[in-house]
A and B are shown apart, each in its own frame.
Chain A
Amino acid sequence: MNLPSRLLQLLMVVLMVGGASYLMMQSLPGDAAWRIAAGRYGYDALDAAAAASVRAELGLEAQGGLHFLYWLGDILRLELGTSLISGESVWVEIRHQLGNSLSLAGAALGISLLIGPPLGLLAGLRAGGWLDRSLLAVCSLLRATPQFLLALVLILLISVEMGLLPAAGHGEPQHFILPAMTLALGLAAVSARLVRDAMAAVTQTAFHDFARWKGLSNAQTFWRHGLRHVALPLVTYLGLQFVTLVEGVVVIESIFGWPGIGHALVHAIFSRDVPMVQGTALVLGVGFVLINLLVDLLGRQLDPRGVK
C-alpha cells in the first residue's frame, strides 16, 4: 500500500461522490424552488410568492453544469457553501450533526466491545459448552431483531414501565444510554460470534496445544498466542461495521429524537438543499476511505506476515 495511490483514491471519491450527488439531486422530480421554499417556510406559509423569491435569490434559472463547477471550485478552497434552508454554513451544520451521530456511534461501539468479545472468548474457549450454545441462541435472536423493535422494547421497559431513563431526547448524558444500548446489542451479537469462532479455531491449532504443553497457563496462552488471532477478524469486522452502525444510527435517531446526520440528510434531500447533501455525502465518503485506510493499517500491524 502506498500513500499516492490512497490519495488518488481519495480524490476519485471526492469527484465521484460530489458528481453523483449533484446529478441525483438534479434528476429528482419536482421544481427545486418550490421544494426549497417548502423546506424553509412550511405548509402554512408556502405560496407562489415565496417560491418566486427563492428562485430569484438563488438564481435557479441559471442551472446547467455551472453550479457543479462552482462547487468544485469551492471544494478546492475547502468551502462547502451554505445551506439553502437555514442559511448556516454547511461545515458548521455537518460538524454539529455528524458530531452527534459519531458520539452516539462511539458510545455504542464502546458498549458493544464490553459485552460482545468477552462473552465470545469465554464461549470459544469451551466450544460446544452450555455458554456457547445459549450465546448462539441469544445472538441469533438479537441479530434478527430490527433495531427499531429493539429500541421500542427498551423504551417501553426501561422508560415507560420502570421510569429509569428518558424515553428520548438529547443534551444530557443519560440520553445516550438507551440509543447506544440499542445499537450496541446488535453489534455485540455479531462480534461475540466472530470472536467465539476465532477463539475456537485458535484452540484447535498445534501452536496453541504446544503453548499449553510447554507449561503456559490458559491466560498466558491467550495473551501471547490467542489475542492477536482473535483481534484480526474483530478489527476488520468493526471497521466494516461502521457502515451498519451509521445506518442503524439513522433509524435510531428518528426514534430517539437524536439530532444526527441522518436526520439532517433526510431533511436536506426532501427540501433540495443541494450544498448540504453534497457536503454531507462528501464528508461521509472521505470518512469511509479514511476508516478503510485505518483498518488496513491496523491489520498490517496485527498480521505483519507477507510484508517485506
Chain B
Amino acid sequence: MVKLLSRLRWQYRTFLHDRRQLAVASVALSLAVVQPSHAQDASAAQASAADTRRLEIVAPFDIKGADPLLSGILFQRMQIVETLVEVDATGELQPGLATDWEVSDDGLEWRFTLRSGVQFHDGSQLDAEVARQVLEIASAKPGLLKSVPVERIVAEDAQTLVIALSEPFAALPAYLADYRQQILAPAAFDETGTAQQVIGTGPYRMLRMTPPLSLEVTAFEDYWGPQPEVRQARYQAVSRAEGRALIAESGDADFTYGLDPASRQRLSQSPRVTLAAAATPRTMLLKVNANHPAFQDPAVRRALSLAIDRTAIAQVVLRYPRGASQLFPPMVEGWHDPALPELHQDVAKARALLDAAGWKVAEDGIRHKDGQRLAISLITFSDRPELPLVATVLERQFHAIGIQTRLDITNFSAIPAGHHDGSLDMALFARNLAMVPDPIGNVLSDYAGTPEAPGGDWGAMGWFDADFTAELERMAREGYGPTPAGQDPRAQASGVIQRALPVIPIAWYYQNLAISNRLQSAQVDPWERSFGLSELRWAQ
C-alpha cells in the first residue's frame, strides 16, 4: 500500500506539472460523429496466417503524416521504407537499396549501382529513374541534402544512378542514408511532391495508419531480403513517460522506448520485462552566445564549464554512470578523442577565471563588470522532461560562481529563433550529432558557417574560426585521411571545439527501453534508425 501511494505521489506531481498545458485545451463539447480511420491500406487479410502474434511497440513519437519530412523517421524505424545507403551498428556505411558506389577521381561524379529485383509495396519496380525522381523531390525540400553541392541527378541506365556535384563532397553516401532521402514509390507523391501514402520497399508494409497515435504493419511477402520472423507489428505513440512505463509494466508492450529514470528503476524489478540501454550519438549541451559581452571571452565560457558538476547531473538527474567529457560520445569513433583532457568541475578555478576576466562579485553575490550585472537567461524546453530539471541544477551551479540565471522553459523553436535574432544568451538542449550517420554534416551545419553568419541554429553562436571552418570543408570534400602530422583530422576538430567551448557539453545520452519476455533478444540500434523488427525472434 505504501508502495502504491508513493508511486501515485510522484505520478501526481508530474501530472500537476502538465496540467497547465491540458487546461488550455479543455474547452468544450460535441456532435455525434462516426469514427472513421485514416485507413491507408485495408487489405489486412493477406497477412501470413501461420503466425498471428503481433509485436507491440510503444514510443513517444507522434505520427504526423505520410510525407518523409513529417514522420519519415518513424517509417524508417518500422522498416517500411529503406534508403540507398544503410549503416551498421559501428557507424560504417553498408549497402542498402544501392549495392555499390564509386566516385570519379576528381570527386565530382558519384555512381550508385542499384539492387535489382526490388519491388515496392504497390508492386512497382525500383529502378534508377524512380530513385532519381524521389531524390529530386527530397532535395527540393528543407533538409541536409540542400547543403550538398548537387548539380544534377541522372539515371544512366536502369540500375545506375549518377549524382554529379559542382564540388567534391566525400560524405555524400552518408547523406543518402538520412531518413529524408527514403525511397518511396512515385505513386506515393501528389503533384506538389508531398507524399500522401507510404509505399516503401522495406520488409514490412503499412497495413493501417491512424495519425496521430498508431500504425500497423505486416511482413511484405515480396521483400528482396530474408523474410522476418515477426510477421505483424503495431506502433503506438504514448506521449507521457509514466504512461509508457505502465504499459510496459502491465505486459502490453514488447518494446517500450524512452523510459524516464524513475520508471527505469521501477521496471528493473518487473518480472515481465528486461531493460536495455545503448549509447546513442546524442549529447545534452549548453549553447552559449559568444556575442554576449561576458561570453565573448573564452575564459568566461571555460568558467561556465568548470562550474558544472556533470557527474552529479548524470547520476542524480539522468541516472547515467557519468557525464560528458567532450562533445562526442565514445561510440562516435574518430570524432571522439580519448586523448582530450576531460571537461570537469573546479569551482575555485572558475571563480578565479571570472575574477581575472574583470567580473567581480558585488554585494548581492552576483558578478559585475563596467556597471553590467552578469545576469543571463537560459532557454530550454520540456519535450524532453530531463532538460528543465538539468536547467534548474545549472541555475544553482552558475549562482555558486556569481552568475544569475533566469530560466525560460518554452517551445524549442525559441532556440533557433533566438539564434537568428541574436536575443539568446544560453540554451540547453539535446542534439543528435549524427542526423546523417557521418557527423560531418552536423559539425558543418552547427559549427562552421560564415564570418557574417557564424555557427548554426543548434550549435555555435557568435563563434567563428576561419581555419577550423576551412578544415571542416576540406574534410567534407576529401574525407578523413590523416593530417601531415599523422593525426586524425576529426579528433583534431573535436579538440578545437573542446578548447574554444562554443557549446558546453553536459551529458551523453543513452536510449532506454524495456523488452518483454515474449521476445528472445533484441538489438538496440545506436543510430536510432531502426527498431530492429526484422531481426527479432519470439521466445518460443
- Same complex origin of A and B: yes
- Does the CB pair A96–B37 fall under 8 Å? yes
Give the contact stretch, choosing among B111-119, B305-313, B407-415: B407-415
In-complex Cβ contact of A262 among B26, B180, B416, B417 (8 A) = B26
- A287–B32 alpha-carbon span in the complex (Å): 9
- Does the CB pair B240–A254 fall under 8 Å? yes
Q: With contacts A34-B416, A98-B33 known, is A88 near B22, CB below 8 A?
A: no
Point out the residues of chain B lying under 8 angstroms from A156, CB to CB: 4, 7-8, 246
Point out the residues of chain A lying under 8 angstroms from B252, CB to CB: 159, 166-169
- Does the CB pair A45–B416 fall under 8 Å? no
- Does the CB pair B25–A266 fall under 8 Å? yes
- Does the CB pair A259–B210 fall under 8 Å? yes
* Residue in A103, A169, A171, A281 with the greatest tally of chain B CB atoms within 10 Å: A169
- Does the CB pair A98–B240 fall under 8 Å? no
* Residue in A160, A163, A262 with the greatest tally of chain B CB atoms within 10 Å: A160
**13 examples of A-B residue contacts, CB within 8 angstroms:** A43-B412, A50-B142, A152-B7, A152-B8, A243-B28, A246-B30, A251-B22, A259-B210, A259-B213, A262-B25, A262-B26, A266-B25, A287-B29
Asked whether B38 is an interface residue with its Cβ less than 8 Å from the other chain, the reply is yes
Asked whether A208 is an interface residue with its Cβ less than 8 Å from the other chain, the reply is no
Interface digits, A47-84 against B, CB 8 Å rule (1 contact, 0 not)? Answer: 11111010000000000000000000000000000000
Interface digits, B413-438 against A, CB 8 Å rule (1 contact, 0 not)? Answer: 11011011000000001101001000
- Does the CB pair A257–B33 fall under 8 Å? no
- Does the CB pair B8–A51 fall under 8 Å? no
- Does the CB pair A46–B457 fall under 8 Å? yes
Point out the residues of chain A lying under 8 angstroms from B12, CB to CB: 146, 148-149, 152
Point out the residues of chain B lying under 8 angstroms from A46, CB to CB: 412-413, 416, 457
Chain A: interface size category = 35 or more
In-complex Cβ contact of B416 among A47, A166, A170 (8 A) = A47
Point out the residues of chain B lying under 8 angstroms from A37, CB to CB: 413
Interface digits, B457-492 against A, CB 8 Å rule (1 contact, 0 not)? Answer: 110000000000000000000000000000000000
Asked whether A270 is an interface residue with its Cβ less than 8 Å from the other chain, the reply is yes
Point out the residues of chain B lying under 8 angstroms from A266, CB to CB: 21-22, 24-25
Asked whether B338 is an interface residue with its Cβ less than 8 Å from the other chain, the reply is no
- Does the CB pair B250–A48 fall under 8 Å? no
Asked whether B35 is an interface residue with its Cβ less than 8 Å from the other chain, the reply is yes
Asked whether B383 is an interface residue with its Cβ less than 8 Å from the other chain, the reply is yes
Instruction: Enumerate the 6 nearest inter-chain pairs by beta-carbon distance, A residue then B residue, closest first.
Output: A284-B28, A99-B35, A38-B413, A34-B413, A159-B250, A265-B25
Asked whether B184 is an interface residue with its Cβ less than 8 Å from the other chain, the reply is no
Interface digits, A194-231 against B, CB 8 Å rule (1 contact, 0 not)? Answer: 00000000000000000000000000000000000000
- Does the CB pair B30–A102 fall under 8 Å? yes
In-complex Cβ contact of B146 among A49, A98, A257, A280 (8 A) = A49
- A100–B411 alpha-carbon span in the complex (Å): 28
Asked whether A143 is an interface residue with its Cβ less than 8 Å from the other chain, the reply is no
Taking chain A's interface residues, is the majority helix, strand, or loop, or is none over half, making it mixed?
A: helix
Point out the residues of chain B lying under 8 angstroms from A40, CB to CB: 64, 69-70
A95-B36, A156-B7 are known; give 13 further A-B pairs, CB within 8 A: A39-B64, A41-B69, A45-B69, A47-B142, A85-B70, A86-B70, A99-B34, A149-B8, A156-B8, A167-B249, A168-B243, A257-B238, A269-B24
Closest chain A residue to B146 by CB distance?
A49
Asked whether B141 is an interface residue with its Cβ less than 8 Å from the other chain, the reply is yes
Point out the residues of chain B lying under 8 angstroms from A148, CB to CB: 12, 15
Interface digits, A254-293 against B, CB 8 Å rule (1 contact, 0 not)? Answer: 1111010011111101100000000011011111101100
- A198–B19 alpha-carbon span in the complex (Å): 35
Q: How far is the CB of B29 from chain A (nearest CB, A)?
A: 5
- A45–B145 alpha-carbon span in the complex (Å): 12
- Does the CB pair A47–B250 fall under 8 Å? no
- A94–B35 alpha-carbon span in the complex (Å): 10
Interface digits, A155-188 against B, CB 8 Å rule (1 contact, 0 not)? Answer: 1100110010011111100000000000000000
